[in-house]
Structure 1
């Protein structure tokens, strides 16, 4: 049995890099074009960060909405067991946290959870998002 290691195609790496940059920088329409062309909505990078995690962490509510509307998993944890909601709370991104909560993101998953993060940073305004029926 051969255990050859194949180097990734540089063009594929460049494409993935562009897609992740669109999520990170909130280029919603450009990202939508790539999703329309078949890029998986839950694509992850080498740290396990999804497009949603990057958009949420960097405060891009419109991009977060696009990804959630396209079926992104709001509770997918990265390799550090962090959720997109906890990332938004950590960054103090209230609007992003609201969008995620409205789309059913679980405030009690990950390490630390979004709820624990809000408590750590005394963000009671964000805690109220998690207690809405």
Structure 2
């Protein structure tokens, strides 16, 4: 059941998991086709991670760029208050960091912020 008490269709849940896997795996064209067909670009998993967050965290710059082009919010935080940019900094995904900054990601959003994460990992000048 979902929080409203309604039954959740198992096929819908499985489809959503497949979409999150496409983001994690960097399947840009397939994921983009689903978004084009009506899947919300801001779809979130049970932890509040968007498709963009999952693509960024797993280092898929092309997928991140495509989701941004389709309207994904580069500053949307997950349920733990983490931003896609902070996740990319944490994972050392420099190309993803560059794409997100180019798309207007805020290095001070979230907890810890991308700026604080960069300091923790010895990259204090990353956002100067």
Does TM, normalized by the shorter one, top 0.5?
A: yes
- 1:70 corresponding residue in structure 2: 70
- 1:103 corresponding residue in structure 2: 103
Taking a change above 3 Å as real, the CA distance of residues 31 and 89 of structure 1, as seen in their structure-2 partners, is same
Give structure 2 stretches of 5+ with no counterpart.
Answer: none
Map 1:104-123 to 2 at 5 A: 104-123=104-123
- 2:21 corresponding residue in structure 1: 21
**How many equivalent residue pairs?**
126
Superposition misfits of 4+ residues, deviation over 4 angstroms: none
- 2:88 corresponding residue in structure 1: 88
Determine helix, strand or coil for the equivalent of 1:62: helix
Taking a change above 3 Å as real, the CA distance of residues 7 and 68 of structure 1, as seen in their structure-2 partners, is same
Output the CA distance in 1 between the equivalents of 2:4 and 2:64: 38
| Per-residue deviation, 1:39 | 0.3
Give structure 1 stretches of 5+ with no counterpart.
Answer: none
- 2:35 corresponding residue in structure 1: 35
- 1:54 corresponding residue in structure 2: 54
* TM-score for both structures, normalised by structure 2: 0.94
Q: CA RMSD in A?
A: 1.4
Larger Rg: 1
Question: What do the CA deviations read for 1:78-131 (whole angstroms, capped 9, x no partner)?
Answer: 00000000000000000000000000000001000000000000024xx43x23
